[in-house]
Amino acid sequence: MNPMLILAIYLGFFLLNFLLDWFLNILNINFALKKRESAPLGIEVHETAYARGVKYTLRKARFGLVQLVTERVLVLIILFTGAAGALDALVNSMGLGSYWQGLVFLTLVSVLLWVVALPSSLYLQFVIEEEFGFNTTSLRTFFGDIAKRAPITLLVLATLLGGFYVVLKLAGAWWWIWAWAFWMLFHLLMAVLFPVLIAPLFNKFTALPEGALRKRLSTLTDRCKFPNRGIFVIDGSRRSKHSNAYFTGIGKVRRIVIFDTLIDSLQENEIEAVLAHEIGHWKFGHIRKRFAIVALSSLILFAIIGFMLGWESLFLAFGFNSPSLHALLFCLTFYSGPISSLFSPVFNIWLRKHEYQADQFAAKQMGDARPLREALLKLGENNLSNFRPHPAYSFWRYSHPALPERLAALEAKT
């Protein structure tokens, strides 16, 4: 296929994706403006919290439009100037081997893209989040986190790329299957190491103190036969007033993690209901199912990589002089958004179904839907959630059901 035809097809998807994103954002903004006077039926939310939630939604959505345009312009600039290919040629002139050329190229690209994205990150954190009272991050912490992430990211990139190049050299035509196997093993290894080695570099994790709450939550995990290495409180308030709870890790290193902000804002039975919801994901096998989908989709992706690596016209279309694994990885990461986003609604439908199941499990464990319902309402108020997103926007973008839909489903089972 001619490189110009490949480029034209890509630009068609690019334009379609841009128009769809712009349309959905405008639709959601106009819907929020139209419905900002009152919360939807069935939601007992304070008028002040609802009004602030609408303002927060509009503030982020309008800034999102600016980000949408700047990100798309950046893609077009890099695409039409051949900047990525020129940088690759510059690195190639250093006379490095394939692996080191790839590592240097991808590292430089990551740094340059981070620099470009930095103003948006700072504005979001220190202007918008600050304006609505969520930001508790200092500039020192912000850049300290970046300094910690940089060597970790470099180590991960070096390990992955090194593994891929070794497999590419030794495994022959079917190298991509072995590369996929390496990727999955690495994925599992990170799931084990992240909660015990990486996450503590950024946050302080302390065991939930003895008391009524710990007894209540431990009784819940015992009743559900949920294996874990303990219940930990994370100092989320050090960076933000947003709250959350989750479990992380696999097997014997699985941990239950609760934000300190969640403990401060919810009653004990409401925290129990939130944890019961998270356990519901485990009980229904959602984590295993999602891992299976990741495994299958990544296998397909690696098969595509195996095919594309010898497709010279593809590399020429995106500004590279010759095929290489690192150039292909860059293209798949940087340019694939317009195509991959077409699959997001299908995946989100599936994820929303999981949320409904976990909600029903929590209601059953509590013997009443009201604790979870109250918890969701408080979290919605405290986080200034969009209580009334446009249906088309939530259908396309949301991995969780919109709050009115979740509450209605819980109400129907009460």
Residues with a known catalytic role: 278, 359
Quote the tokens at residue 234: 């994370």
Long-range own/partner contacts, residues 29-38 (CB < 8 A, 24 or more apart): 29/58, 29/61, 29/62, 30/390, 31/388, 31/389, 31/390, 31/393, 32/57, 32/58, 32/61, 32/386, 32/388, 32/389, 32/390, 33/58, 35/388
Element (H, E) at 232: strand 231-234
Burial of 154 per CB tally in 10 Å (0-12, 13-18, 19+): middle
The C-alpha atoms of residue 252 and residue 37 are separated, in whole angstroms, by 49
- Helices 268-283 and 370-382, axial angle in degrees (round to 10): 100
Q: Angle, nearest 10°, between helix axes 47-81 and 98-123?
A: 140
Nearest to 163 by CA among 149, 179, 185: 179
Q: Half-sphere exposure of residue 95, counting CA atoms within 13 Å on the CB side? A: 0
Cα 198 from Cα 195, distance rounded (Å): 6
* Beta-strand pair 245-248/205-207: unpaired
Integer Cα distance of 404 and 21 in angstroms: 23
